[in-house]
Amino acid sequence: MIPLQIQSDHVLSFITKSEIESYQSAINRHFEEVIHKTGKGNDFLGWVDLPAQISNEIITDINHCAKEIAQKSDLFVVIGIGGSYLGARAVIEALKHHFDFLQEKSARKHPVIVYAGHQIGEDYMADLMEILDERDYSLAVISKSGTTTEPAIAFRLLKAHLEKKYGKAEADKRIIAITDKARGALKQLAVTKGYKTYEIPDDVGGRYSVLTPVGLLPIAVAGFDIAALVKGAREFREFCLANTDINSNPVSHYAAVRNALYRKGKTTEILVNYQPNLMFITEWWKQLYGESEGKENKGIFPAGVNFTSDLHSMGQYIQEGMRNIFETVISVGSQNRSVTIPEDPDNLDQLNFISGKSLHYVNQMAEMGTVLAHVDGGVPNIRISIPSLNEYYLGQLIYFFEMACAVSGYIIDVNPFDQPGVEAYKKNMFALLGKPGFEAEAEKLRKKL
């Protein structure tokens, strides 16, 4: 039995079991297309077998590299955008101490992970370099091409900063390039400079790359067990590829339910978590589903909320707004630490009725109460549950969402592995910045502006 479970009892007042089960033949067909790499975008299906192909040797090498980084660095800068950093950040944020950046260096065994190249904020980069002036650091630059604008700008700035701080020879030893195995500007530079490198497989796109060195190196540097992460994904892969029945396979069930709801006009899916350290799981999921399904004027819009915080903001809309939404709740069975609410003799806050109870128990009751309220308000709810937050269960969750995304994309007949719309803003930005070759386009855009 795989610990990750899915429950959909709270959708059955909106769609019927027969409507869900009507997707079985399509799901069987799409699983075959994924497994045998015969569907749309099949040249980017390397992630399907990835958990079974990651060798002990590569895990050992990554762990050794992470140990060397930790010995000389207080901070580790991960330069990347989209899938080149979101997967790693999702796992790290889910597992790390919430306030690791405030801990004394002696209390930390591993570098604090910070991020660059995921936006173009000038104050952010200036603040980061100010901190890097004072701390020892190394960095990973993640890009197949080496020319993606945001990470390329960040790398240019931080490479210069490293070289000024440590000298060129030592700076070269503090840079790890995760890039194409043979082509591209970053690969060329890495060979010239002698950077330590890891390969991004040609057949794995960025948003499916968590289980490549793109995700594994930063996760290892942060001090987490990448072997357990891979094991969770591997064992879930074996489970879900053995049987595609909607009633026993969580991937099949999730793909069927969300598409049955989509057919009924539920065009927005809200991923809900009740743990603050799951916020970046939501951000990774939003990119995975938004970039995979949002094509040809199709696709469920992926949104996210962090409860109970957002019950005091978005909760009102979810309860009584437009009824084109459904929720998918990530439910965590137990916590790694325990905090008990004390008795207060004055009881001015009138909370003695929960004294002696753990915060997690109160949070679970909030989760149950919210689900019932939202279902009563016309919002279907899917529940995905894992026993606790650790590397093994996160590996299961990652592979679950990846496989379900591929199958769901095929159900609506799009290519889940390309992102043609992402290029539109880049062309306009290059033209407005005066990139050679974009002069005619720049003139057209300035007239529009």
* Share above pLDDT 70 across residues of the chain, in percent, rounded to a whole number: 100
- In one-letter notation, the amino acid at residue 52 is A
Look at residue 444 and tell me whether its pLDDT is greater than 90: no
The model's confidence at residue 1, banded by pLDDT at 50, 70 and 90, is: low
CATH superfamily of 5-41+229-414: Glucose-6-phosphate isomerase like protein; domain 1 (3.40.50.10490)
The pLDDT value recorded for residue 135 is 95
The pLDDT value recorded for residue 432 is 73
Look at residue 426 and tell me whether its pLDDT is greater than 80: no
In this prediction the pTM is: 0.94
Domain 47-228 fold: Rossmann fold (3.40.50)
Q: Please report where in the chains the tokens 């004390």 appear, as a residue.
A: 342
User: Omega before 192 cis (within 30°)?
Assistant: no
Q: Which of 98, 109, 312, 447 is catalytic?
A: 312
Look at residue 245 and tell me whether its pLDDT is greater than 70: yes
CB proximity list for 22: less than 8 A, separation 6 or greater: 260
Q: Which of 291, 293, 327, 402 is catalytic?
A: 291
Look at residue 160 and tell me whether its pLDDT is greater than 80: yes
* 404 DSSP 8-state letter: H
Torsion, Cα of 133, 134, 135, 138 (10° steps): 10
Average pLDDT over residues 23-38: 96
Average pLDDT over residues 34-62: 95
- In one-letter notation, the amino acid at residue 140 is A
Cα–Cα distance between 224 and 269 in angstroms, integer? 30
CA angle 63, 220, 2 (to 5 degrees): 105
Give the distance from CA 129 to its chain's centroid: 26
Q: Is 310 helix (H, G, I), strand (E, B) or coil?
A: helix
The model's confidence at residue 345, banded by pLDDT at 50, 70 and 90, is: very high
The pLDDT value recorded for residue 443 is 76
Cα–Cα distance between 254 and 266 in angstroms, integer? 14
Active site includes 427?
no
Phi, psi of 416 (to 5 degrees): -75, 5
Q: Which of 17, 36, 181, 426 is catalytic?
A: 426
Which whole-number Å values give the CA distances from 244 to 35, 239, 254, in the listed order? 12, 9, 12
Cα–Cα distance between 76 and 137 in angstroms, integer? 6
Give the distance from CA 318 to its chain's centroid: 24
Active site includes 64?
no
Q: DSSP labels for 32-66?
A: HHHHTT-STTGGG-GGGTHHHH--HHHHHHHHHHH
Give the pLDDT confidence of 192-237 residue by residue, as tens digits.
Answer: 999 999 999 999 998 999 999 999 999 999 999 999 999 999 999 9
Look at residue 429 and tell me whether its pLDDT is greater than 90: no
CATH 3.40.50.10490 boundaries in the chain: 5-41+229-414, 47-228
Give the pLDDT confidence of 350-366 residue by residue, as tens digits.
Answer: 999 999 999 999 999 99
Mean pLDDT of the residues in the chain:
94
Active site includes 312?
yes
Which whole-number Å values give the CA distances from 348 to 96, 118, 172, 351, in the listed order? 35, 46, 61, 8
Q: How many CB atoms within 10 Å of residue 32?
A: 12
Look at residue 394 and tell me whether its pLDDT is greater than 80: yes
Give the pLDDT confidence of 297-334 residue by residue, as tens digits.
Answer: 999 999 999 999 999 999 999 999 999 999 999 999 99
Give the pLDDT confidence of 58-74 residue by residue, as tens digits.
Answer: 999 999 999 999 999 99
The pLDDT value recorded for residue 349 is 93
Look at residue 184 and tell me whether its pLDDT is greater than 70: yes
Cα–Cα distance between 233 and 251 in angstroms, integer? 13
The model's confidence at residue 440, banded by pLDDT at 50, 70 and 90, is: confident
Q: DSSP labels for 205-274?
A: -GGG-TTSHHHHHHHHHTT--HHHHHHHHHHHHHHHHH---TTT-HHHHHHHHHHHHHHTT--EEEEEES
